[in-house]
């Protein structure tokens, strides 16, 4: 039975590469024919042979996560050829820094409140304008 | 002068690929010979021809950032073949969520203080144990 022809439609990778999709195709479980873009993207950014090499290097149960992270990186690189998903990392790091500053400022105010009581707290920089208590910060965008 | 031989030592890419490094080499400005690992990494993960194609697609002033983001992604993928730098993104997103929860809780306490005064605030969950006012949170690690 193993040598009989594989009658299902070829996976997205084999269709893209115009080759026969065998039962032992390394791509087939992760690149179903109904998601042609997923393979096209990783092929464009990493190359089919690099993807195949990587899939053979990781453990079988890690292959799905590997393909999904490659697909994510590839899509990001196609959308932003200069920074790819490294642009997301920079943005998240900036947001994290901004939020940490905001938390430090809020904690510092809370300490003031705890030590001195509400009467002596400078509430000048609390912004009530939109109905929420937003702490303005030096949030870098 | 443009056709004279290029006497400097070949860039890391040409050295790696064992080819002649010409004055118009697309890799040379970004892969100096003293950083051989940088090219070896992007070559392993993306392939030399994909890198070259990408460099030709972006504007000349964007090429340095492009190479550096590729080198960052490549290094991350070599260190973590399953998640690459997508693992950093997940980690940063978790940290951001945790910090946002912490900030929301701190702001809620501050509002309590402002409205009810310090006497009625439940300070039970402020942790003074290490000399800092840390707000315990449901921070997901």
- Predicted pLDDT at B119: 53
B12: its two tokens: 């890391």
B97 touches chain A (CB under 8 A): no
Identify the residue among A30, A47, A81, A127 best suited for mutation to test binding to B, counting B beta carbons within 10 A and taking the highest. Answer: A81
Q: Which residues of B touch A61 (CB under 8 A)?
A: none
Identify the residue among B47, B65, B70, B81 best suited for mutation to test binding to A, counting A beta carbons within 10 A and taking the highest. Answer: B81
Average pLDDT, chain B: 83
A139 touches chain B (CB under 8 A): no
- Predicted pLDDT at A113: 79
CB contact under 8 A, B46 and A45: yes
Cα torsion through B72, B67, B37, A72, rounded to 10: 40
A75 touches chain B (CB under 8 A): no
Strand partners, B134: B127
The tens digit of pLDDT for each residue in A67-110 reads 999 999 999 999 999 999 999 999 999 999 999 999 999 999 88
Identify the residue among A55, A82, A102, A109 best suited for mutation to test binding to B, counting B beta carbons within 10 A and taking the highest. Answer: A82
Phi (first) and psi of residue A76, to 5 degrees:
-65, -40
> What's the ipTM?
0.75
How would DSSP label each residue in A86-107? HHHHHHHHHHHHHHHHHHHHHH
Mean pLDDT of A50-77: 97
CB B58 within 8 Å of CB B66: yes
CB A59 within 8 Å of CB B81: no
Q: How confident is the model at residue B2 (pLDDT cuts 50, 70, 90)?
A: very low
Identify which has the larger pLDDT, A12 or B119. A12
The tens digit of pLDDT for each residue in B37-49 reads 999 999 999 999 9
B65: nearest CA partner in chain A: A82
Place of tokens 């400022």: A105
Q: Chain A neighbours among B 42-71 (CB < 8 Å)? A: 44-47, 49-50, 54, 57-58, 62, 65-66, 69-70
B104: its two tokens: 């929301």
CB contact under 8 A, A85 and B85: yes
The tens digit of pLDDT for each residue in B55-83 reads 999 999 999 999 999 999 999 999 999 99
Phi (first) and psi of residue A35, to 5 degrees:
-125, 65
| pLDDT above 60: residue A61 | yes
B125: its two tokens: 């969950």
| pLDDT above 80: residue B86 | yes
């Amino acid at each position: 039975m193993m040598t009989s022809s594989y009658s299902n439609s070829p996976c997205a990778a084999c269709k893209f590469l115009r080759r026969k999709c065998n039962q032992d195709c390394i791509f087939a479980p992760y690149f179903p024919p109904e998601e042609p873009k997923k393979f096209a993207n990783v092929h464009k950014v990493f190359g089919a042979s690099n993807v195949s090499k990587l899939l053979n290097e990781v453990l079988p149960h890690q292959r799905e996560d590997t393909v999904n992270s490659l697909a994510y990186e590839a899509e990001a690189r196609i959308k932003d050829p200069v920074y790819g998903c490294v642009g997301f990392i920079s943005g998240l790091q900036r947001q994290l820094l901004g939020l940490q500053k905001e938390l430090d400022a809020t904690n510092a105010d809370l300490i003031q409140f705890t030590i001195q009581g509400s009467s002596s707290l400078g509430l000048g920089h609390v912004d009530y304008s939109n109905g929420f208590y937003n702490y303005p910060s030096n949030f870098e965008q």
